A and B are shown apart, each in its own frame.
Chain A
Amino acid sequence: MLKLLTVLLHFVLASILLPDDLADTTFENSVRPVLIENCFRCHSEAKSSGGLRVDSREALLSGGESGPSIVPGNAHESLLLKAIQRHPDVSAMPPDKEKSLRPDQISAFRDWIQAGATWPLNSQKFSHQQHWAFGRVMPQVQPPVSKDTTLNSPIDPFVLSKLEAAGASIRIAADKRTLLRRATFDLIGLPPKPSEVDAFLDDNSPDAFMRVVDRLLASPQYGERWGRHWLDIVRYTDTAGETADYPLPLAWRYRNYVIDAFNEDKPYDEFLREQVAGDILAKQGPPDRYAERVIATGYLALSRRFGFDSENYQHLTIQDTIDTLGQSVLGLSLGCARCHDHKFDAISMKDYYGLYAIFDSSRYAFPGSEQKQKYRAMVPLVSEKESHAKWVAHDRLVASLIAKIEHAKLPVPSAILRSLNEIDGDFEMQAPAAGGSNGVLVSPWHYEGKISVTHSAQSPYRNLYHTGKVGVSVGAQAGKYQISQAVTSLVPKECDSFHFNMDFRISASGAEEQGAHWICLGSTPRLPALRISISSTAVSIERDGGWDCLAEILPNQWLNLQLCINLKNQTVSGAVRGPTQDSVFENRPLIASSNGRLNHLSIESADMEQKNAPGLEFDNIGIELEPISVISLKGPSQQLPEENDPSKTKSDGEEALAELKTLLTDGPYPMAYAMSEGTPHSVSMHMRGEPSQPGPLVPRGSIEVLSGGSLDTESIGSGRGELARWLTQANNPLTARVMVNRIWQLHFGRGLVVTPNDFGVRGVPPTHPELLDYLSAKFVTSGWSVKAMHRTIMLSSTYQQSSLTIVPKQGDLSLSSGQNSLAVNESTERYSHFTRRRLSAEEIRDSILAVCGELDLSSARGHPFPSPLQWGYTQHAPFTAVYEHSQRSVYLMTQRLKRHPFLSLFDGPDPNATTPDRLGTTVPTQALFFLNDPFVHARADAWARQLELQSTNASVQIDSAFRSAYSRHPTTEELSDAERFLCAYRNELANYAGTPEQTEGHNALSALLRTLLGSNEFLYVD
């Protein structure tokens, strides 16, 4: 009894000492992370050692084989505490003594159990039906408002009804000048030209503003401004972000795609589908849209790279893809589910790894890295058929040029710009990496089991690939393994036959083993149309119900297998050749039970019997539409006719070298930094987010809340096509809401949901949920038109309100009653005035260039990066550059590791993560920019020269300057003030020797113009 009392007392005391939220904090900060980190691996969904799970309070209470793990309120009776204290009576946990918990961690557990072991409610499996953002977009009727207010747009009643409920109203409209300046910056990111101001002021027709909006939406500068918003959200930059920050010379194509898409008002759903699956859609669509669709997948390809051998960190790149996809399209942070079911949102680990499998089954263009300095897997912008032929021709030309160069004994530059068509059959892109990689296979190959990339597995034959250093080794008794690649793109549907090549040898050691290896070609891994077996004694082919020997072979001899697969007759012919061997076979039938499609190649352990297999080394895999030449120990170069004149040889070689350099840089056709299809497969969950700790296998699929399911494991393709559909289908409420909210936010400075990248439980609910749904529904029914949404918003009274909190007396416009009843915050939240904003970094630079008459409005393409042939960037000497130009700032080259100095000074986008919302900080270093930066001085100087050409009259110059910078004339006071300034400045300049008298006037005018550029009126939009 006494004990019970003590327990109760403890419990009560502890509860007093630890109020709920504090207990929750202890749990979230000190208990849960330790459980996840140290215990989940053996005691959660994946595995429950000793019958125990520790992933819920209930599980801990029911405990495992040893009984309940915790006694809430009595830490000392709790097995869990004893285990982590390594009490002699119980099994110490974690079992590994080196991983013992620290004293502070143990005491956190003690406190938590003592306080009742609460498992915070919001962390229990979340029911998404209850959260507003996952609910259907509901049709909305406009709420009633007082009759005497004139309203311009269907959205006004939604805003006004809330204001009226608070005793306030929509403010009077901004004056026309202000409205024009606001609209022009909003839509094109530039100040209006004086002529545009005049035209609008003179236009008294009721639809004058509507015409302004239409004019701005039709301007090519619109896409440059709104495209930039999207580029912020998708963390666009021109470098890869691994430790040496390799340049991405082709990324600009995606940047321009985005700009063009906004200019064309591409339906938003289509815009998304193209970015997620454009390479797949390209094959279905009209040929003239092939290139743009492929380019669109730059959205995914731009995912950040990590480490000095970024393919070793592919899991982090995919994580970046999923994080960005979740936040940009769905407003959900999916990233948490990488390590555990999402604490707050309806995202499970299964959801996460379903998406992961989709991206792991896709192929990302490779930007180069410190370890592998050449970029590759760029995606052709012409159809497969066309690109394949061009690639073959290109390869031949390269080979013949190399032959000439080698013949002249000149150094051969290593190949760059390997494109998608490269299957990496010679495994030269798989070179074992120092310091990290264990020589495992990376894309385009997919592998499972114990294999390695070694020098000893380099084949001596050169009939297919000219040079090489490595091949693949499978050790004797390697157990189950598979290396595979989807080869859809290599075998066009309409072709009659194709050719296959592979070099191999059975290793000498372990040659006594009875087992075999298989080479399979088929429609999917499990439906081969052709299966060849290699044992230490024979190469055999499967026919229905048995095996036929094709050739008897000996171990430790490099052999070459060639096949010609005839798709029309469904037969295969070929040969196994070696120094002492030439076994030819003809017209063997393909496996009848297959569906006849051949788009997947694998080399794997035979699984028909439990026999150990001998070691196998293989290399030089090729799939070609043309016949492949027979084996040769000589490369193609030596097969060319010899040129005997040495000087001719040398000049030929030099010519060839120059030609080769161009050829290698330009490639056989235009390409993009984009995505393509990889080898479809399921993935193991990464327990605790660690790829080295595989958990259960998850098939490709979408997240549950999108009502997307899992894909059949045998289904063809990565699954991005399906994902694109799931993201944009009608019953997904998030996609439209998130985008509509962004458009709203970029007009008003804040979203209806003020956390634009987080519509989850941790985000802030909408201030005007009915309005959000009204707009979302309208967005979808308008055909996902972003431009239509601009019109709806900008023609509203809500948008056209004044930003002034005190209305000037001269205007004789008094505040409407009740205006002062709103606190400022509330007033902002309810849109009872328009919120003033500072110009963004890009607007600042572009506006300075524009008013000074120096802005180049042409559209830019790539950046002047050094030739890829010269690349050798390392973490010790990473790529870094700043390229100046006078085109719009959206075309500035930005890097992930080193931020652009100007953009970072004025709160430009984060180059490493999605930026939903620019900050508008005010720091003295920005003021120093306006005072002293050469850019500002040079622009003001040029501007002054132009004004001087226009007129020699100071008041005319001042008037013109005010009209450019502020879209208005100076007041009389301002004019005389400016004139006095010019005079005082000239006089002061005269005091300094070295200023020629004739430039004093010019310098004074430049100084005045700098003050205009630095002023608040220039930098803020009302």
Chain B
Amino acid sequence: MSLSRIYDSSRRGALRSIVGGSLLLPGIVSQLLAEDQAPSESDSLSPRLPHFSAKAKRVIFLYMSGGVSHVDSWDPKPKLVADAGKTVPVNEFQGRKGEFNMFLKRPQFEFSPHGQCGTEVSTLFPHMAKCVDDLCVIRSMKSDHTNHYEATLGIHTGSFTFARPSLGAWLSYGLGTVNRNLPSFVVIAPNSPYAGGQVWGSDFLPGSHQGTLVQPGPQPVANIQRRVVSNKLQELELAAMARMNHRHMESRASDGMLSARMNSFETAFGMQTEMPEVFDLSQEDDQTLKMYGLSRGSTSGFGWQCLIARRLAERGVRFVELIDVGSSNNWDAHGDILTHVPLAKNVDLPIAGLLSDLKRRGMLEDTLVVWTSEFGRTPFNAAKEAAGREHHHWVFSSWLAGAGIKSGITYGESDEYGINVAKDPVHVHDFHATILHLMGLDHERLTYRHTGRDYRLTDVSGRVIKEILS
């Protein structure tokens, strides 16, 4: 039992304890709770005001697992094409220090300008290329580590070595949630990523902020399916339990912990209805399904993940992360960069569909969409004829779109070969600081006291990239 829990448990608002003992219909209860906007310190998920007014209300975070080659996708390098086969000296290769002469490797996909803005994108992403007028492409991302595990942890938690709360957990902690029938932070992933569940963990933040895993397939969330045959039976059980709890409360009325737990059953009851509703795509029209490249009845694939993300966002979920694959058979193209092709095909149309769908619904105005990988891939390799590319964290590309973002621009530059940052570096900490800022949170003020220290997502650094804010 933590100190804060003890303090908080006794400070709960009257509403919750009144409601707690009631047998009101679950829907009404959650509505009452949702309307109870007064920040309740006892309830770590109740909505909280941001540090300052923000354009973004929620984030959809698209994470490509394994390391997408920047020079084959978002960062055109004509000089790399021209000088392919020549050697360059580098002082580190795959974590080993030393002097290495490396062969420049030609990008395998042609670049051309797109949209009104003319941002160049390669043929790897033909559909996303059509959305460039909505994107801010960052070509100067930097990470701290050359290994998947650390870099994946880094892009999610700001810590490259130790488990720390994930970006989504920090946002949930900072802002709470507006829909108590759904978790504040949802991760949709077909397979476990590098570093596993630490990627969406809440670590030292209260457990309610950890990501809830949704796995594509017939049973996307654990225990969400009612096990008894009817609602009526479950209502009987809940009513019996509520009566027992109510009697138990009689001599313990001031204990907010007990009433909170009674409420949690009503919320759970609501989740059983609302979560399946999220996954019920029968009301989506054919045109919408087509935008996501999704065939009716399918419950998997990145198109499904993207559409579910929109439906979660609509219902007030604060942070939705989509992981395209997992820790294997991913973008980690050591052997052959052409293995990017099927992976790109998996995500390209769905992401473009998601952007257009959000836009036509007016949701892109208050939804921030983030696309990133844990690092890029080397523009060079040790052998002249190598078909693949290795890990490359010195520079890579990501993009942001939607709420608060200057659209149709690029920011930052890599050098002529795409080896290092040439201009306006955006370290992972800066990236995080900017995302928090867009959500109305000051990354230096969003702290949590743990083991005698105030922790933050951005450790002791991070700069909000003001230049890309609209």
**Chain A interface (Cβ < 8 Å from any Cβ of B):** 29, 33, 37, 102, 104, 243, 245, 306-308, 316, 327, 333, 336, 344, 434-436, 438, 749-750, 754-755, 757-758, 760, 762-764, 803-808, 824-825, 828, 835-838, 875-878, 880, 897-899, 901, 904-905, 907, 910, 912-913, 917-934, 937, 973-974, 977-978, 981, 984-985, 988-989, 991-992, 994-995, 1007-1008, 1010-1012, 1014-1017, 1019-1020, 1022
Q: Establish whether residues B327 and A1011, one from each chain, have CB atoms under 8 Å apart when the complex forms.
A: no
Docked complex: B95-128 residues within 8 A CB-CB of A = 95-98
B254 & A992 in contact (Cβ 8 Å cutoff): no
- B208:A308 contact, CB within 8 angstroms: no
> Quick check: A974 and B244 within 8 Å, CB to CB?
yes
> Could you say which residues of chain B place their CB within 8 Å of the CB of A436?
95-96, 147
A434 x B94 contact (CB < 8 A):
yes
Please determine whether B161 and A807 come into contact, CB atoms closer than 8 angstroms: no
Q: Is B18's beta carbon under 8 Å from chain A?
A: no
Q: Is the CB of A898 within 8 A of B197?
A: yes
Contact check, B252 vs A836: say whether CB atoms are below 8 A apart: yes
Bound: A760/B157 CA distance, A: 27
Q: How distant is B137 from chain A, measured CB to nearest CB, in Å? A: 22
Q: How far is the CA of A910 from the CA of B198 in the complex (A)?
A: 11
Residue in A877, A931, A977, A1007 whose CB lies within 8 Å of B223: A931
Q: Judging by beta carbons under 8 Å apart, are A988 and B230 in contact?
A: yes
Q: How far is the CA of A243 from the CA of B194 in the complex (A)?
A: 8
**Given A828-B6, A910-B203: A981 in contact with B236 (beta carbons within 8 A):** yes
Given A897-B196, A925-B268, A750 and B3 contact (CB-CB distance below 8 Å): yes
Q: Out of A804, A937, A984, A995, name the residue touching B229 (CB < 8 Å).
A: A995
Convert B457-469 into 0s and 1s, putting 1 for each residue whose CB lies closer than 8 angstroms to a CB of A.
0001101000000
Given the complex, which residues of B lie within 8 Å of A920, measured CB to CB? 1-2, 5, 257
Does residue B226 face the partner (Cβ distance < 8 Å to A)?
A: yes
- Which of B82-90, B259-267, B305-313, B392-400 binds A? B259-267
Greatest chain A CB density within 10 A among B222, B328, B452, B453 is at B452
Excluding A307-B150, A920-B5, 7 further A-B contacts by CB distance (< 8 Å) are A29-B444, A306-B161, A438-B97, A825-B11, A925-B222, A991-B230, A1011-B241
Pair B197/A899 contact, Cβ less than 8 Å = yes
Q: How far is the CA of A754 from the CA of B241 in the complex (A)?
A: 34
Residue of A nearest to B267 (CB): A924
Taking the complex as formed, is B359 at the interface, i.e. its CB lies under 8 A from any CB of chain A? no
Contact B252 A898, beta carbon cutoff 8 Å: no
Residues of A within 8 A of B96 (CB): 435-436, 438
A927 to B267, CA, bound (A): 8
Binding site for A on B (CB under 8 A): 1-3, 5-7, 10-11, 44-45, 94-98, 146-150, 161-163, 180-181, 183, 192, 194-198, 201, 203-204, 206-208, 210, 212, 222-230, 232-234, 236-237, 240-241, 243-245, 247-255, 257-258, 260-262, 264-265, 267-272, 327-328, 332, 444, 451-453, 460-461, 463
Q: How far is the CA of A929 from the CA of B271 in the complex (A)?
A: 12
Is A981 touching B240 in the complex (CB atoms < 8 A)?
yes
Instruction: Give the CA-CA distance A805 to B255 in the complex, in Å.
Output: 9
Other-chain residue from B6, B149, B229, B261 in contact with A1019 (beta carbon distance below 8 A): B261
Nearest-Cβ distance from residue A153 to partner chain B, whole angstroms: 23
Known: A33-B460, A755-B452, A757-B451. A932 touches B1 (CB 8 A): no
User: Which residues of chain B come closer than 8 Å to A912, judged between CB atoms?
Assistant: 162-163
Contact check, A758 vs B452: say whether CB atoms are below 8 A apart: yes
Interface contacts (Cβ under 8 Å), in number, total 255
Q: Chain A's nearest CB lies how many Å from the CB of B373?
A: 16
A925-B223 contact given A875-B149, A878-B196, A988-B233, CB 8 Å threshold: yes
Q: Which of B11, B233, B248 contacts A1017 (CB 8 A)?
A: B248
B453 x A928 contact (CB < 8 A): no
B195 CB contacts on chain A under 8 angstroms: 243, 875, 897
CB-CB under 8 A for A977 and B243, given A758-B452, A897-B195, A1010-B237: yes
Q: Is the CB of B244 within 8 A of A1017?
A: yes
Chain A's nearest CB lies how many Å from the CB of B240?
5
Task: Give the complex CA separation of A929 and B453 in angstroms.
Answer: 34
CB atoms of A837 and B197 under 8 A apart: no
- Residues from chain A with a CB closer than 8 A to the CB of B7 are 825, 828
Which residue of chain B has its CB nearest to the CB of A1007? B237
Instruction: Compute how far the CA of A750 lies from the CA of B252 in the bound complex, rounded to whole angstroms.
Output: 20
The answer to whether A1020 touches B230, judged by C-beta atoms less than 8 angstroms apart, is: no
The residue of chain B having its C-beta at the shortest distance from the C-beta of A434 within the complex is B94
* Whole-angstrom distance between the Cβ of A940 and the nearest chain B Cβ: 11
> Chain A's nearest CB lies how many Å from the CB of B366?
25
Given A924-B264, A927-B264: A875 in contact with B10 (beta carbons within 8 A): no
Find the B residue at minimum CB distance from A242.
B149
Are B208 and A923 closer than 8 Å at their CB atoms? yes
B11, B163, B201 interface centre (most CB from chain A within 10 Å): B163
Task: Evaluate contact between A927 and B162: CB separation under 8 angstroms.
Answer: no
- Cβ of A878 and Cβ of B227 under 8 Å apart? no
Q: Write 25 A-B pairs (CB below 8 A) sorted by A numbering.
A: A243-B194, A749-B6, A755-B3, A762-B453, A808-B251, A825-B7, A838-B1, A878-B196, A898-B192, A924-B183, A924-B270, A925-B183, A926-B264, A928-B223, A932-B223, A932-B224, A932-B272, A933-B222, A977-B240, A977-B243, A988-B232, A988-B236, A989-B229, A991-B230, A1017-B244
CB distance from A831 to the nearest CB of B (A): 12
A919:B5 contact, CB within 8 angstroms: yes
Q: Are B252 and A308 in contact (CB under 8 A)?
A: no
Closest to B327 in A: A876
CA distance A808 to B249 in the complex (A): 11
Known: A880-B196, A922-B257. A1007 touches B228 (CB 8 A): yes
Residue pair A837, B161 in contact (C-beta under 8 Å): no
Contacting pair B251 A931 (CB below 8 A): no
Most A Cβ at <10 Å: residue of B181, B203, B236, B249: B236
Nearest B residue (CB) for A763: B452
Q: Please state if B265 and A933 are interface contacts (CB–CB under 8 Å).
A: no
Query: A434 CA to B391 CA in the complex, in Å?
Result: 13
Nearest B residue to A915, CB-CB: B204
Contacts of B261 in A (CB 8 A): 838, 922, 927, 1016, 1019
CA distance A758 to B451 in the complex (A): 7
Please give, as numbers and ranges, the residues of chain A lying within 8 Å of B192 by CB-CB distance: 880, 898
A1016 and B258 in contact, given A878-B327, A925-B223, A928-B223 (Cβ under 8 angstroms): yes
Given contacts A876-B327, A1011-B240, contact A922 B264 (CB under 8 A): yes
A838 to B258: give the CA distance in the assembly, Å.
9
Question: A931 and B148: CB pair below 8 A?
Answer: no
Contact B226 A921 (CB under 8 A): no
A912 to B163, CA, bound (A): 7
Min Cβ gap A786→B in Å is: 20
10 nearest CB pairs, A to B: A927-B268, A762-B452, A243-B149, A824-B10, A924-B267, A928-B223, A33-B460, A932-B223, A1011-B241, A924-B268
Contact B241 A897 (CB under 8 A): no
Q: Are A805 and B223 in contact (CB under 8 A)?
A: no
B186 to chain A, nearest CB (A): 12
What's the nearest-Cβ distance from chain B to residue A13, in Å?
A: 23
Chain A residues near B198 (CB, 8 Å)? Answer: 897
By the criterion CB–CB under 8 Å, are A901 and B222 in contact? yes
Q: List A contacts of B1 (CB < 8 A).
A: 749-750, 835, 837-838, 917-920
User: Are A927 and B244 in touch, CB under 8 angstroms?
Assistant: no
Query: A327-B451, A917-B2, A981-B236 known; A1014 and B241 CB under 8 Å?
Result: yes
Does A1016 lie within 8 Å of B265, measured CB to CB?
Answer: no
State whether B257 touches A435 (Cβ < 8 A).
no
Q: Roughly how many angstroms separate A755 CA and B223 CA in the complex, as a whole number?
A: 36
* In the complex, residue of chain B having the shortest beta-carbon distance to the beta carbon of A34: B460
